Structure 1
C-alpha cells in the first residue's frame, strides 16, 4: 500500500510538472535586445498586454535577457523565442530585399520635412514589405519568420566625444554605422565607418574605439550613451533607422495560431508601430533637452553641411541600385527603388499633419487602414 501511494504521488508530481511545462510552453516568449524601460521594451510590453487582453494567448517579454540584438534573428529562426525584435541590417545578405527599403531611409528627411519622420518611414516600409514585396516575405520565410512591420527611429544625429561643427571635422573620425547607407555617408565625407552592434556602442565610445555614433537621440538613454557623449550634432547624417522587424514571429509559432489570434497580432503590431515611433519622437526631444542641461554641447550644423548631406542622399540612389544588384543579386532593383521612393512620399503626406503624429490611436489606425486591414490573417505567411 505504501508503494502504491508512493507511485501515485510520484505520478501526480510528474503530472503537475508536465502541466507546468506545458503551461510555460503555451506562453509566447518575446525577445527584445534593449534594456527594460527602453521605448522598444515598453512598446513590446504593451503589445503583450494587448494580445493577452484580446485573445487566449499568454505572452512574456524578455528585455535584454533571452537574446541580444545580434542573437535575435537566428534565435527567433531556431525557436528560442516566438516573437523577436529583429534588426535586419545586422544580416545584410539574409534580409537583402528588406534592407533595400531600409537603405533608402534618408529620403524621409530630404525635401519636405515632417514632424515624425520615423512614423512616416515605418508606414512606407510596412506597406512596401507586406503589400508590394513578395521577395521580402519570401526571405523572411527562409529565416523561418513572419514579418509584422517595423518601427523606425527618429532622425539620425552624431553622438560624439569630440565636436563636429563642419564637414572638415568629419574627416578622419571613426564613426559607428548601423546600416550600409550611413556607412557610405561617413566614408563620403572622409570618415572611417565602424560596424558594431548597438549593444557595443557604449564601450566603444568610452574606450576611444570610435569618435562618434550615427544613431537616433533616444539611444542616449535606451543604450545609456548619455554617459559617454560629449557633443551632439543635429540633423546629420539624417535619415532614420528603418531596418527592423519589431514583432517578427517564428513561422512555426505563426502556423499554430488561429486566424482570430493572428488578427489580434495584426492589431497589436499596428499599435506597437505607433507606440515605438512616437515614444522615440518624444524621447528624442526630451533627451536633447536633458543633454543640454548636463552640459553636452548640442550643435546645429551649418547650411552648407546640410546641403552637402542632401546632395549625397540623391547621388547615393545609384550606388544603392548597383550594390543590391551586383552584391546581393536582387532583380528589378530600379523599379523597387521607385516603388519605395513613392511610398516614402505618400507616407510623408499621410503624416505631415501633427495631429496624426501626436495621437497614438490615430497613427495606429492609419497603419491599420492603409496596410493591415488589406491582409488576410488566415492566409498571410502560410504558403
Structure 2
C-alpha cells in the first residue's frame, strides 16, 4: 500500500467529525522559511505547500527569507505573523528545553554504529521521540502556541573555515560559530571559543573575521552562499548533525480552526516535508563537497587523533547534557530521556540504511513507524 493510501486509511472518518473545524474554503496560510530560495528548507516547504493544496481546499503562500528570518520565526509563528513556519528551537533554549534535550544528543548519530545517513536516522528518532514518547515536548509546544509536525535534519557537521585546520594544534585558539550548545562545548573542548551567530549571519561572520570556522553542514555552502567566503573545509569533525528543527510547525490557533480534512492534508504532507528536508540536505551537501575544490576550497581530512578526540568528547558530553538540562532547565527524568533518545537513534540507524537518496522511502518510514500512530481526532486540539 502506498504512503498516501496508508495515511488516508489511518485517518479515515476524521473528516466526518462535524463542527470540529471552522476554516473556510480557499483559506490561504502564510508559510515562513528563514532560508532563501533554492535552500533545502525552501524546497521542502514549497513541496509541502503544493501537497497541501493538491489534497485540500487550502491555499499556501511561501515566504522565503522575507516574512520572518530564522530567529524571528518561533515568536512570529506563536504570535500569528505566520501560520506555518520552519522553526529552530535551539535559538530559544529555555522555551524549547524538552525538544532541545533530544537535539543536543545529535552527535550520537555519527558515533558508534555507522549510518549511511546520520541525518535520516536522527530525524526519524527526533520525530518518534516528540510524537510518541515526550508528552512534555508537546506541552512545551502548546505553551508556544505551536503544533509540532515533524523534524528534518541536516547532513553531518564539518568545519568550514577561513584558515586551515589540519592538526590538533590548529584547533586551538580559533573562534567557532556554534548553532547549538553541544557544538559550543565541542569548540571549548578543543581549546577554541564558541561564538553564537544566527544562521542568517554566518556569511558576514566569516567574511569579517568574527569567526574562523563555522560548524555546519556542507549544504549551507549553497543555502547560505558560503562558497563565497569559505577557503578550507575539514571533514568528519565535529560530526553530529543539526537536529533542532520543527520542519513545518503550525500556529495552534490556526490548527484548531482548520477542518478535520484540512488538518489531515497538512499532517499527511508533513511526513513528506520532513523527509524532503533531510534528503535535500544530504543531496545538496554531497554535491557541494564535490564542487568545493573547483571553487577554490581545499578539502582537508582530519587526523586519526582528531577523530578519536571528537568521538571521546561525544561520549563524555552525555553526562554534561544530563546535568545541564536537569539543573539549568529543570527537566525531570533526564537520564531516562537520554536513554530513550539514544535507543531511538540506534533503531533508526538500522531502519534508514540505503535511504540516503530516497525521500519517498524515508517519508514512508516516518508514516509507518511514527505518524500513523498519532490520533488526529485529538492531536493538539485541547
Q: TM-score, normalised by structure 2?
A: 0.93
Match of 1:319, SS?
helix
Match of 2:32, SS?
strand
1:167 Cα deviation from its structure 2 partner: 1.7
Residues 1-383 of structure 1: pairs in structure 2 closer than 5 A: 26-352=27-353, 354=354, 356-383=355-382
Whole-angstrom distance in 2 between the partners of 1:358 and 1:229 = 26
1:24 Cα deviation from its structure 2 partner: 11
1:25 Cα deviation from its structure 2 partner: 9.0
Rg: which structure is higher?
Answer: 1
1:195 Cα deviation from its structure 2 partner: 0.4
Can you list the C-alpha shifts for 1:270-316, whole angstroms capped at 9, x where unaligned? 11111111111111111011111112110111111111100000000
Distance 1:193 1:25, change over 3 A: farther
Match of 2:194, SS?
strand
- Runs of 4 or more, structure 1, over 2 Å off, are 22-26
Whole-angstrom distance in 1 between the partners of 2:283 and 2:360 = 16
Query: 5+ residue gaps in structure 2?
Result: 1-22
Check whether the contact 1:262–1:378 (CA below 8 A) recurs between aligned residues.
no
Whole-angstrom distance in 2 between the partners of 1:54 and 1:290 = 38
Match of 2:87, SS?
strand
Check whether the contact 1:232–1:298 (CA below 8 A) recurs between aligned residues.
yes
1:49 Cα deviation from its structure 2 partner: 0.3
1:166 Cα deviation from its structure 2 partner: 1.5
Check whether the contact 1:271–1:360 (CA below 8 A) recurs between aligned residues.
yes
Residue 9 of structure 1 is matched in structure 2 by: none
Whole-angstrom distance in 2 between the partners of 1:345 and 1:214 = 24
1:23 Cα deviation from its structure 2 partner: 9.1
Check whether the contact 1:199–1:223 (CA below 8 A) recurs between aligned residues.
yes
Q: TM-score, normalised by structure 1?
A: 0.92
1:260 Cα deviation from its structure 2 partner: 2.1
1:357 Cα deviation from its structure 2 partner: 2.7
Can you list the C-alpha shifts for 1:211-253, whole angstroms capped at 9, x where unaligned? 0000000000100011000000001000000001110000000
Whole-angstrom distance in 1 between the partners of 2:328 and 2:77 = 26
Which has the higher relative contact order, 1 or 2, with Cα contacts under 8 A spaced 6 or more apart? 2
